[in-house]
Amino acid sequence: MHNDSIKKTVGVALAVCLVCSVFVSTAAVYLQGIQEKNKHLDKVKNILIAGGLYDKKADIQKLFSEKITSSLIDLSTGEALTEDQYTDKLSPKTFDIKTMAADNQLGKALTDEQDLAGIKRIPRDMLVYSVMNNGTVDKYVLPVYGKGLWSTMYGFIALSNDLKTIKGITFYEHGETPGLGGEIENPNWRASWNGKIAFDDQADLILQVLKGKVIPSSPDASHQIDGLSGATLTTRGVGKMIDFWFGENGYGPFLQKMREASSNG
C-alpha cells in the first residue's frame, strides 16, 4: 500500500507539472506578440520623448507617423540607403540594433581602440529618425548604446538641425542600479541635456559628462552635463557612449554629410 501511495503521489505531481508546463508554454506563445507590440510602442514613445514630441494624451503611433521620418544610413560613409538596397533583414520596418550588430554580414566587430563605448559590435547601418516641421528637418533622433556598470544602456539622443545643440536624451533599456546608475531615467537629469552644445563651430565634439556637478558660472557650462551622484561608472559609460556615437566610428560621417548639405543649401 505504501509503494502504491508513493507511485500515485509521483504520478499526480508529474501530471500537475505537465499541465503547468503546457499552460506556461501556451501563455508564452500567446503573449509574445503582445510583448513585442508593447516593446515597439515603448521604443516609439522614447523616440518622441527624445524629440520633444511626446504627449501622453495623444495616439503615439499616429504622432510618430505624422511627425517623424526614418532612414537607414551606412555608418562608414554617412550615406542614406536607397529602397533597392533593403532586404528582408535590413529595412526600416525590421531593423533591430541587437540583431544587426550580431549578424556576421550586417554587423561588424570593433577593435579595442575603436570601442570607446564597450559594446564590441555595431550594425554597419543604423536607422536614424528626423523630426519634421513644415517639410523640413527640425531635429535628428539618433539611436545610441553603450556599456554602463552592470548593463548595456540603449537610448536615443536628439540633435537640433544646427547639428550642434542637444535637444533631448532618453533611455529605454538598461540594468543599472535603481537610485544610482538608474538615475539615467530621471526626468530632471534628462532635461538638463536640453540646449547643451555638443559641437563647436569647427564641428569638434566638446560635450562632456562630468564626474561631479556643472559650475553654472564656468565658461564650459554650456557643454557640460552633471554626473550621476554615486554612479561614477555609469556616468563614465554615458560619457564614453557619447564620445563613440558622435565620433568617426559612429554618426560622424553622417553628421558631416548633413553639415555639407546644409552649407550647400
What are the residue ranges of helices labelled H in 96-182? 97-102
Instruction: Please give the Cα distance from 4 to 17 (Å, whole number).
Output: 20
Q: What's the pLDDT score for residue 25? A: 55
What distances in angstroms separate CA 196 from CA 43, 172, 174, 209, 214, one per listed residue? 24, 21, 24, 11, 12
Instruction: Please give the Cα distance from 51 to 69 (Å, whole number).
Output: 12
> Comparing 3-7, 84-88, 124-128, which segment has the lowest mean pLDDT?
3-7
Report the pLDDT averaged over residues 127-135. 94
> What digits encode the pLDDT tens for the residues 133-184?
998 999 999 999 999 999 999 999 999 999 999 999 999 999 999 999 999 9
Strands 166-173, 68-74: pairing kind: unpaired
Reading the block at residue 211, the C-alpha cell is 564626474
pLDDT of 23 above 80: no
Instruction: Please give the Cα distance from 236 to 247 (Å, whole number).
Output: 16
Q: What's the pLDDT score for residue 27? A: 47
Instruction: Please give the Cα distance from 210 to 218 (Å, whole number).
Output: 13
Query: Domain locations in the chain?
Result: 48-264
Nearest to 109 by CA among 95, 117, 119, 96: 119
> What digits encode the pLDDT tens for the residues 40-57?
889 999 999 999 999 989
Q: Which residues contact 23 (CB under 8 A, 6 or more apart)?
A: none
pLDDT of 58 above 60: yes
